[in-house]
């Protein structure tokens, strides 16, 4: 049994890692760190943890001093993550960083959106962990930058079109909607039940930090610069994310042609499901699972393509993807621990 | 006291009309029709109705045979509405039609999206009832076509830009999100709590019937053809609608310049509020009120404008707008009965 | 126009007072205090405030130093409220205290549940502001202790039975469910969307501070000691409270007999509605209104009575009741500003 | 690999069986019936089904004519289930009936609450499938009556007290709250998003059909008659059920004493978790899992015990319990396929 540690085990992505790994046959969580609750057992944080699933929470320093594990998941704030990653790599662990610290290859771009990087030497070493586009590089990596939730939807939604002549992919618009868990675990007025419940609101308009990540990966995959117009929205749901992506046609194309492009592109992907034409993705049908549902439609009247992509932001958008990356890095079959169906309704 | 009748009083827009009119000093609801519950009192349908607010529910036929009122609200399905409108106009009532039957001026366009029109002679007589664009015509009208909820957001959001040279308004994209009440009152699997709750999903992609209405009004207001790319989504909230609208810049413009355009355009509008730059609309802050909140932002990086518009789909998107139109038609000050603040949270 | 000030204007009961008073013809809010946002305008806190509804937020000290109003609403934390009440009474204002500070007549009972009282001389002066039981005393009062939300439901639910021989009212059980807004406005993990949403949980079991208030009022009304077994629960809704109250029968009684008791008791109450037998209260049908819905049922099989009471915790359970009390204190007809229908759905 | 069939595969308990069995190593679903969608694939009903999880939907008649399986789950309406059970037993299958048809041993009691029984000979043959009370009988059974969701909470909550002298268990009160999925999958106005969302309401007061089931099992377990006073409520959540149960003390007892009773009673139960004293169950912490969380508290002031029990109504309250029973009947370790953690948040 391989041993995993989770830095930041009591946030939502940390808790989700515990849930997923609890049914993984080859890996067990042996310890975690928590800023708020060090020196507790995980079962004291959540009533449903116990028995074999329980483990000790330490301070981050204690965990780093004595990692004693094979693989580490970093569910830490931006900035803190880079320093922990450097330390754990030196200690010989495989590292999967769920923060943004290792996602951007160019330290200047990082600085522009996040501030100075604490361990810039990591940027060249890290592999961007979207298996559907970088599977082989992830297999050999010891440091994987787990993608952001929004970028996961936008990259998976746009990637198949990058080589399609009839669609202009230079500047897609992504109008994205996310459940509240994406804002993290904590007490904030904006994510309180009464303020976030029953409403829908855009936020981070034109300025969300996930933009450079989408642009870096799509530009790299397509071989030419891509800019993304991106508006995130908060919806009154705990989990779930759907991105509705708009791209102009360059010349006439049918929905059936693009349907085939998507089906071909994702035919062998275990977690990406291209829905039949006319069926649209619903976050309720991916909740709790690592599935990603995609639909494509063409508006002949106006000459645009609409791509819709749904995931559970905490699974395929975070912790499920992290375990998928872990499997690849540790030479475990990719779907192990990740094939459970969504919890519906 | 003027007397109103409501055809279709037990649907959500009918119930909302009852609520709004219950605090209107000059108009009282004297009767209503209900397909499901004729020969009941309204208080038997809803526990909170009683005393002065109660009235009898009849069949539609009974109401039409003996309208005995000054003004009629038609909250009926498309098709049924046109015939009722014809009859009530002949009986001398002012009519506000909340269905789509009188919204499209061209019977061929109506036929394309809805099927053959039952009373096509009404189309030329009806005024499209968006007071912010047609106030003076509404005052003199005896038949007003109350706008659809989505068109209300898109028209109010785009109208100020139609005369701004630096923005290309020929083909805006509107990504819209609506609460479930927009689907009407009834037992459908897709709008059941378990299927609609906790999820977000696009529907009616490229084919929603509100598209021709948006295009007709924006083309007419701007004096040149406008096509709208429109994707509606269902969000897990009873009420509330937010449209995020994307338009390309033709030449450089600042957010401050567009902010001024919106503030000027809506300075004297009692129900439209242009939010300070950087504050974005939230459906939770319009719930239960006739307010419409608008923000505008410019993405200089990619050269696009983002306009965000929030309303309560049942109030400014339906029954509140209908009472606003009624006030204009009956020469009552426009805001009477409509100035209550949102119910927050 | 009478002038009202609101101490604690930016919490949920403060905001609700602003909403209700905005449509009150005789009273206007002229200023408020806010711990978090002094020296702002109310319109900077909430986008929907503006024009005639706007007012300045000051510190509590500034407001107390220069109250300049006819009536004050105290929506302050327990403890802070008593001192403010003392000060404002000295300045000649009528005071309605929405905190618990003036609800308990016995300072020892207060001390047991809340700690030492800061201004114990107020306890004898304050009138417990439940108009349905103390209407005449409220009329003459200058200090009213606005009831807690849970006590409102339990007292209104049990009071009619106190004089019914066949029911044992000495120790009712109230199993109560409240929307999240009852926990106040702020950023707490337990009331965050993700933790409170989609779940239901008991809290404050056997120890909730509203217990002595229920017992004091019911004992006083019935003329013999009443103990209450009380379990509050949090439900995933912003507003709404329903209490299901269980009492043993002493001798055989029919539901019809008790139905008549309730209908007689509340026949002339403007805000209490006894539902027809077999119809049960639903918080969705009181949301945003000052209505209280009550049902009574008898379980002949087991010899117990079940009373169900629903209110909107922020209206009849707090700010609506406060305005009702204000009307009585200021000799304004009791229902002014409070007759709007619920926002349904 | 053993083969399971699901009669009624497209309702919520049917879908939940598919989800749970999809990760069961020893059993696979080979076919299902559906009233609404026969002659479809399950993947046409739900987007997330596919590949190995897919199977054909037939009519009930087709399935019964050719069952071709080892075990059958009946997720059918009351009445239909009994006839299907008779047929499948004759065909040699093990049968787990999720309806109420086989739960009541006395056909007269069944008739009183449900109407005439269609296959009364089954009543003596069926074992009431609550493993925590009937494990050994279930092992040998070929027909198991899967418990109702409400009875599961009430029986697990009260059972440990039946042998405790100091508590009067003759007539517990259970105030229970259920998510909307308990009402089944379908389009009904009362369970529509707008009517059930954001509200809380009692229903089936004093008359719910789960009452005789609770009474039968508790009377049998305790050896003397038990009556249950039961009020179910609908809460605005898809899943989750919490019962708050009230019982009088006969003589003084401490919470610590009863805590020990519960911990001892459930020490070796894999799915029942007695929470530490002072921690109360939260439906959010059992969602999607087969766990049952229980707390016990004593109100010394009034001499009553409060027991709180939370489950996911679709898992431990239905389909998870059914798989637990299946494991016992097929001699598979009891927890196989059921140990995944809740989906939180």
Write down the domain spans for chain C. Answer: 2-125, 150-313
Length of chain A counted residue by residue: 345
Q: Does B289 touch chain C (CB under 8 A)?
A: yes
Output DSSP code: residue A79: T
pLDDT grade for D256, boundaries at 50, 70 and 90: very high
Which single residue is written with the structure tokens 């039940």?
Answer: A193
Q: Which chains touch A (3 or more CB pairs under 8 A)?
A: B, C, D
Q: Does B195 touch chain A (CB under 8 A)?
A: yes
Q: Does D36 touch chain B (CB under 8 A)?
A: no
Structure tokens, B149: 């909820």
Report the catalytic residues of B: 149
> What's the CA gap between C237 and C243, in Å, rounded?
15
ipTM of the complex: 0.96
> What's the CA gap between B153 and C47, in Å, rounded?
17
User: Residue B334 contacts by C-beta under 8 Å, 6 or more apart in sequence?
Assistant: B131, B270, B324, B327, B328
Distance from CA of B203 to the nearest CA of D (A): 15
Q: Is A148 exposed, middle or buried (0-12, 13-18, 19+ CB in 10 A)?
A: buried
Nearest CB neighbour to D238, from listed B185, B189, B194: B194
Distance from CA of D203 to the nearest CA of C (A): 7
Is the link from the previous residue into B280 a cis peptide, with omega within 30 of 0?
no
pLDDT digit string, tens, across residues A222-258: 999 999 999 999 999 999 999 999 999 999 999 999 9
Mean local confidence (pLDDT), C98-121 = 96
Q: Does C243 touch chain D (CB under 8 A)?
A: no
Mean local confidence (pLDDT), B313-338 = 98
Sheet order of strands, B127-128 included: B56-58, B27-33, B2-7, B71-74, B94-97, B143-145, B127-128
**Among candidate residues B290, B283, B285, B286, the one with its CA nearest the CA of residue B318:** B290
pLDDT digit string, tens, across residues D15-36: 999 999 999 999 999 999 999 9
User: Residue D207 contacts by C-beta under 8 Å, 6 or more apart in sequence?
Assistant: none
Q: Are strands A292-299 and D56-58 parallel, antiparallel or unpaired?
A: unpaired
- B192 and D198 within 8 Å at the Cβ level: the answer is no
Q: What is the pLDDT of residue A201?
A: 97
User: Residue C13 contacts by C-beta under 8 Å, 6 or more apart in sequence?
Assistant: C75, C98, C314, C318, C319, C322
Output DSSP code: residue C100: S
Q: DSSP string covering A238-256, please? A: SS-EEEEEEEEBSS---HH
Q: What is the pLDDT of residue A261?
A: 98
Q: Does C177 touch chain D (CB under 8 A)?
A: yes
Q: Which residues of B touch A284 (CB under 8 A)?
A: 195, 197-199, 201
D interface test, pick of B178, B193, B195, B203 with most D CB neighbours within 10 Å? B193
pLDDT exceeds cutoff 90 at D284:
yes
Closest chain D residue to B193, measured at CA: D193
Q: Are strands D173-178 and D94-97 parallel, antiparallel or unpaired?
A: unpaired
Distance from CA of D238 to the nearest CA of A (A): 6
Q: Does B181 touch chain D (CB under 8 A)?
A: yes
> What's the CA gap between B180 and C345, in Å, rounded?
10
CB atoms within 10 A of CB B277: 16
Distance from CA of B220 to the nearest CA of A (A): 19
Averaged confidence pLDDT in chain C? 97
Q: Are strands A241-248 and A173-178 parallel, antiparallel or unpaired?
A: antiparallel
pLDDT digit string, tens, across residues B73-116: 999 998 999 999 999 999 999 999 999 999 999 999 999 999 99
Mean local confidence (pLDDT), B245-255 = 97
The pTM (predicted TM-score) of the whole model is 0.97
DSSP 3-state helix, strand, coil percentages of chain D (rounded to 5)?
Answer: 35, 20, 45
Mean local confidence (pLDDT), C310-321 = 98
Q: What is the pLDDT of residue D243?
A: 98
pLDDT digit string, tens, across residues D204-227: 999 999 999 999 999 999 999 999
Q: What is the pLDDT of residue D285?
A: 97
Q: Does D197 touch chain B (CB under 8 A)?
A: yes
pLDDT grade for B199, boundaries at 50, 70 and 90: confident
Q: What is the pLDDT of residue D278?
A: 97
Averaged confidence pLDDT in chain A? 97
pLDDT exceeds cutoff 90 at C198:
no
Q: What is the pLDDT of residue D199?
A: 87
Alpha helices in chain D (DSSP H): 12-22, 42-45, 60-65, 80-90, 107-114, 122-125, 131-140, 149-158, 193-196, 211-222, 255-265, 320-329
Q: Which residues of B touch A235 (CB under 8 A)?
A: 177, 200, 235-236
Looking at C7, C149, C194, C200, which residue is catalytic? C149
Distance from CA of C214 to the nearest CA of A (A): 27
Q: What is the pLDDT of residue B16?
A: 98
User: Residue B136 contacts by C-beta under 8 Å, 6 or more apart in sequence?
Assistant: none
Structure tokens, D135: 């494990």
**Among candidate residues C243, C46, C251, the one with its CA nearest the CA of residue C157:** C243
Q: What is the pLDDT of residue C99?
A: 97
Distance from CA of A38 to the nearest CA of D (A): 20
pLDDT grade for C199, boundaries at 50, 70 and 90: confident
**D150-312 under CATH 3.30.360.10, yes or no:** yes
Q: Which residues of B touch C291 (CB under 8 A)?
A: 48
Alpha helices in chain C (DSSP H): 12-22, 42-45, 60-65, 80-90, 107-114, 122-125, 131-140, 149-158, 193-196, 211-222, 255-265, 320-329
Mean local confidence (pLDDT), D55-84 = 96
Q: Could you give the 3-state DSSP secondary structure of residue A137?
A: helix
Buried b (16+ CB within 10 A) or exposed e, D161-186: bbebebbbbebbbbbbbbbbbbbbbe
Task: Give percent above pLDDT 70 in chain D.
Answer: 100
Mean local confidence (pLDDT), C92-107 = 97
C interface test, pick of A181, A192, A283, A318 with most C CB neighbours within 10 Å? A192
> What's the CA gap between D161 and D164, in Å, rounded?
5
Distance from CA of C123 to the nearest CA of B (A): 32
CB atoms within 10 A of CB A224: 11
pLDDT grade for C244, boundaries at 50, 70 and 90: very high
Q: What is the pLDDT of residue B32?
A: 97
CATH classification number, A150-313, choose in 3.30.360.10, 3.30.460.10, 1.10.3860.10, 3.40.1710.10: 3.30.360.10
Q: Does A19 touch chain D (CB under 8 A)?
A: yes
Q: Which residues of C touch B181 (CB under 8 A)?
A: 345
- A244 and B281 within 8 Å at the Cβ level: the answer is no
> What's the CA gap between A142 and B318, in Å, rounded?
57
pLDDT exceeds cutoff 90 at C247:
yes
- Class of A2-125 in CATH: alpha beta
Q: Which residues of D touch B188 (CB under 8 A)?
A: 187, 192
Nearest CB neighbour to C344, from listed B15, B281, B291: B15
Are A70 and A330 spatial neighbours (Cβ–Cβ below 8 Å)? yes
pLDDT exceeds cutoff 90 at A21:
yes
Mean local confidence (pLDDT), D233-249 = 98
Are C242 and D202 spatial neighbours (Cβ–Cβ below 8 Å)? yes
Q: What is the pLDDT of residue D60?
A: 97
Q: What are the two backbone dihedrals, phi and then psi, of residue A175, each rounded to the nearest 5 degrees?
A: -100, 110
Are B196 and D187 spatial neighbours (Cβ–Cβ below 8 Å)? no
Strand partners, C120: none
Distance from CA of C179 to the nearest CA of B (A): 11
- Is A171 tagged catalytic? no
- B235 and A195 within 8 Å at the Cβ level: the answer is no
> What's the CA gap between D280 and D285, in Å, rounded?
11
Q: What is the pLDDT of residue B198?
A: 80
D interface test, pick of C181, C200, C301 with most D CB neighbours within 10 Å? C200
**What distance, in Å, lies between the first and last C-alpha atoms of chain C?**
34
Closest chain A residue to B312, measured at CA: A199
Q: What is the pLDDT of residue C183?
A: 95
Looking at A7, A149, A171, A194, which residue is catalytic? A149
Which single residue is written with the structure tokens 């911990």?
Answer: D263
Q: What is the pLDDT of residue A272?
A: 98
pLDDT digit string, tens, across residues B151-164: 999 999 999 999 99
Averaged confidence pLDDT in chain D? 97
Mean local confidence (pLDDT), B278-307 = 97
Q: Does B340 touch chain C (CB under 8 A)?
A: yes
Closest chain D residue to A279, measured at CA: D47
Structure tokens, A206: 């034109």
Q: Does A344 touch chain D (CB under 8 A)?
A: yes
> What's the CA gap between C327 and A260, in Å, rounded?
69
**Residue C251, CA distances (Å) to A31, C167, C265, C281 in order:** 62, 7, 21, 26
Q: Which residues of B touch D181 (CB under 8 A)?
A: 194
Strand partners, C273: C293
Q: What is the pLDDT of residue D88?
A: 98
**Among candidate residues D48, D122, D111, D50, the one with its CA nearest the CA of residue D85:** D122
pLDDT exceeds cutoff 90 at C343:
yes
Q: DSSP string covering D98-165, please? A: -SSTTT-S-HHHHHHHH-S-S-TTHHHH-EE--HHHHHHHHHH-SEEEPPPHHHHHHHHHHGGGTT-T
- C197 and A188 within 8 Å at the Cβ level: the answer is no
Mean local confidence (pLDDT), B236-251 = 97
Closest chain C residue to D312, measured at CA: C199
Alpha helices in chain B (DSSP H): 12-22, 42-45, 60-65, 80-90, 107-114, 122-125, 131-140, 149-158, 193-196, 211-222, 255-265, 320-329
Q: Does C288 touch chain B (CB under 8 A)?
A: yes
Are B344 and B286 spatial neighbours (Cβ–Cβ below 8 Å)? no
Chain centroid to Cα A113, Å, comes to 18
Chain centroid to Cα D126, Å, comes to 15
User: Residue A182 contacts by C-beta under 8 Å, 6 or more apart in sequence?
Assistant: A149, A241, A313, A317
Beta strands in chain A (DSSP E): 2-7, 27-33, 40-41, 56-58, 71-74, 94-97, 127-128, 143-145, 173-178, 201-202, 229-234, 241-248, 272-274, 292-299, 304-311
- D302 and C244 within 8 Å at the Cβ level: the answer is no
Output DSSP code: residue C318: I
Report the catalytic residues of D: 149
Chain centroid to Cα C17, Å, comes to 12
pLDDT digit string, tens, across residues A121-138: 999 999 999 999 999 999
């Amino acid at each position: 049994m391989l041993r995993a540690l989770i830095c930041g085990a009591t946030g939502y992505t940390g808790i989700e890692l515990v849930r997923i790994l609890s049914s993984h046959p080859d890996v067990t969580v042996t310890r975690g760190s928590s800023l708020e609750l060090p020196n507790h057992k995980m079962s004291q944080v959540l009533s449903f943890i116990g028995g074999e699933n329980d483990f000790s929470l330490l301070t981050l320093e204690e965990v780093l001093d004595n990692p004693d594990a094979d693989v580490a998941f970093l569910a830490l704030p931006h900035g803190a993550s880079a320093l922990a990653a450097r330390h754990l790599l030196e200690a010989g662990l495989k590292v999967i960083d769920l923060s943004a610290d290792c996602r951007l290859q160019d330290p200047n771009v990082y600085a522009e959106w996040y501030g100075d990087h604490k361990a810039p030497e990591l940027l060249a070493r890290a592999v961007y962990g979207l298996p559907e586009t970088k599977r082989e590089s992830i297999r050999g990596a010891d440091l994987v930058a787990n993608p952001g939730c929004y970028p996961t939807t936008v990259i998976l939604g746009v990637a198949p079109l990058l080589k399609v002549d009839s669609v202009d992919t230079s500047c897609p618009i992504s109008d994205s909607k996310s459940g509240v868990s994406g804002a993290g675990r904590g007490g904030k007025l904006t994510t309180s039940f009464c303020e976030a419940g029953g409403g829908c609101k855009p936020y981070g308009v034109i300025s969300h930090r996930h933009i450079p990540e989408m642009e870096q990966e799509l530009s790299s995959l397509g071989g030419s610069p891509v800019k993304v117009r991106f508006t995130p929205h908060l919806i009154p749901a705990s989990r779930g994310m759907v991105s509705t992506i708009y791209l102009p046609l360059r010349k006439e194309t049918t929905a059936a042609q693009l349907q085939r492009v998507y089906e071909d592109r994702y035919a062998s992907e275990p977690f990406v499901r291209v829905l039949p034409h006319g069926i649209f993705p619903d976050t309720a049908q991916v909740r709790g699972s690592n599935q990603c549902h995609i639909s494509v439609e063409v508006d002949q009247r106006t000459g645009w393509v609409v791509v819709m992509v749904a995931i559970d932001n905490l699974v395929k958008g975070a912790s499920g993807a992290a375990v998928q990356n872990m499997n690849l890095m540790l030479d475990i079959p990719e779907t192990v621990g990740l094939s459970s169906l969504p919890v519906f309704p």
